Structure 1
Amino acid sequence: MHNLEKFNAIYQRACERKGGPNSLAVGLNKPLSNKALSKVGDDRFLAEFSKKVFQSGFVWRVVRNKWPDFERVFFDFNIEKILLLPDEMLEQKATDPSIIRNYTKVKTIRDNAIMMDSVAREHGNFAEFVADWPSEDIIGLWAYLKKHGARLGGNTGPYGLRTIGKDTFLLTNDIVGYFTKRNIISGSVQSKRSLTAIQQCFNELQQQSGLSLQELSMIISKSVGDNYI
């Protein structure tokens, strides 16, 4: 990747923009270890994916405020219970005024429960499947969620994974801007070609730095854009 800077150059610039190494470090956090991630309940994965589906194209704060009601209405996202929901009951729940009444998005809760259940039958549980997925091919996990899940393409699946603790970079405006400006990607960031190029860059930076994709993603975004001290 001849256009990719060395990690040290990106890191130094991020430090300069953020007021030094200590200030930069305050804004960074690490993903869960694979062992810790494998012990997260599958209900929490379903809850997080569902929350991100509802937040997509909507006011995040409103979704956050209503989330306790979502947990109540959907049995704390217990997958076995959700799998038993017939269409009529799902439609009925989608009219509950305490949640966001969007039947198309409500349907994804059961659809994603079905996807996760089928993964769990093969891998013991969904959490282990995610924990075992290698970070050097995190775009492969994104693609799996997009193909087999409901409305988990684009940034929805990746944001869900990041929130729950899986090591992943995110395609924020700053990240996309960085790779576009250096001519590492062109055209759609979601194309296989662009995603592969970005993954290769992150893998290279990871070898140089020993940091997680999450930390690298944050450092790059802090090294560019308007956001500096």
Structure 2
Amino acid sequence: MHLEQFDAIYQRAAERKGGEAQLELLLSTPLCKDDIAAISDDRWLSAFSMKVFQSGMSWKVVRNKWPNFEELFFGFKIGPLLMLSDEHWEMKSTDKRIIRHHSKVMSIAANAQMIYEAGIEHGSFGKMVANWPAEDITGLWLYLKKHGQRLGGNTGPYSLRQMGVDTFILSSDVEAYLRSYNVIEGGRDTKRSLAQCNQAFAHWQQQSGRCLTHISQIIAFSCGDNRV
């Protein structure tokens, strides 16, 4: 695995985006660990649920409907949701105020259970995420995929990014770039590919001193179809 120097990636991204100042304006900065730890369990469940519903659907349509989801699912508070019977979940999945998709609605129940169990072990879901080692961020992706429901692929990582967690994302542009340098070979979500990605991003972090979020976004801006 022979990686391009991060300075070269950065300069190419800056040229494509109209200069360094313009590029910096496009970067989103993650929250600090204390702020991540302080996020309440209901906000994690809301974020995961929104991304699950946005998968394969118009993000805007889901966002516009979200106040109805918040109302129907008790503000995504874990305790009340865990007390619902199967019959209650069935009724909620057919409620006309939300997007009626049975398996996506049932993922709310499964992910509420995941968040509850993480809270027992770590104090809260936010504390678990905040203390997850940055050099193994894909381990957190795999945790969400294994213990949650419908959080595999990019759904989990996009949810984490939305919540301010420092993570790279294997968007189509980033994945294509990493494949061009053989960081990813074969399946994108194999343990080998994810370990190679962790290694590459750790290397660029050492070179640049930047967070994973910035590195990921700069790589995306350096390639693909997103010139100014």
What is the number of residues matched between the two proteins? 228
SS in structure 1 of the partner of residue 206 of structure 2:
helix
Residue 120 of structure 1 aligns with which residue?
A: 119
Partner residue, 2:42: 43
Taking the aligned partners of 1:90 and 1:185, their CA distance within structure 2 comes to 40
Residue of structure 1 in register with 2:202 after alignment: 203
Letter aligned with residue 124 of structure 2? N
1:86-125 pair list within 5 angstroms: 86-125=85-124
Matched letter for residue 66 of structure 2? W
Deviations 1:39-70 (A, max 9, x none): 01110000000011111111211111100000
Q: For 1:22-33, what aligned pairs fall within 5 Å after superposition?
A: 22-33=21-32
Deviations 1:143-184 (A, max 9, x none): 111011111111111111110011100110100110111222
Shift of 1:186: 1.9
Determine helix, strand or coil for the equivalent of 2:176.
helix
Root-mean-square deviation (CA, aligned residues, Å) is 0.8
Partner of 2:8: 9
The equivalences for 1:49-198 within 5 A come to 49-198=48-197
User: Aligned with 1:225: secondary structure?
Assistant: coil
Give, in whole Å, the separation in 1 of the partners of 2:24 and 2:119: 37
Letter matched to residue 148 of structure 1: H
Shift of 1:192: 1.3
In 2, Cα distance between the equivalents of 1:129 and 1:14?
A: 34
The one-letter code sitting in structure 2 at the alignment partner of 1:33 is C
Alpha-carbon distance in 2 for matches of 1:122, 1:111: 17
Q: Deviations over 1:52-109 (max 9, x none)?
A: 1111111211111100000000000000010101000110011110101111111111
- Could you list the runs of 5+ residues in structure 2 that have no partner in the other structure? none
Cα distance in 1 for residues equivalent to 2:154 and 2:34: 25
Which 4+ stretches in 1 moved above 4 angstroms? none
* Aligned-residue offset at 1:135: 1.3
Alpha-carbon distance in structure 2 between the residues aligned to 1:219 and 1:73: 39
What displacement does 1:226 show? 2.0
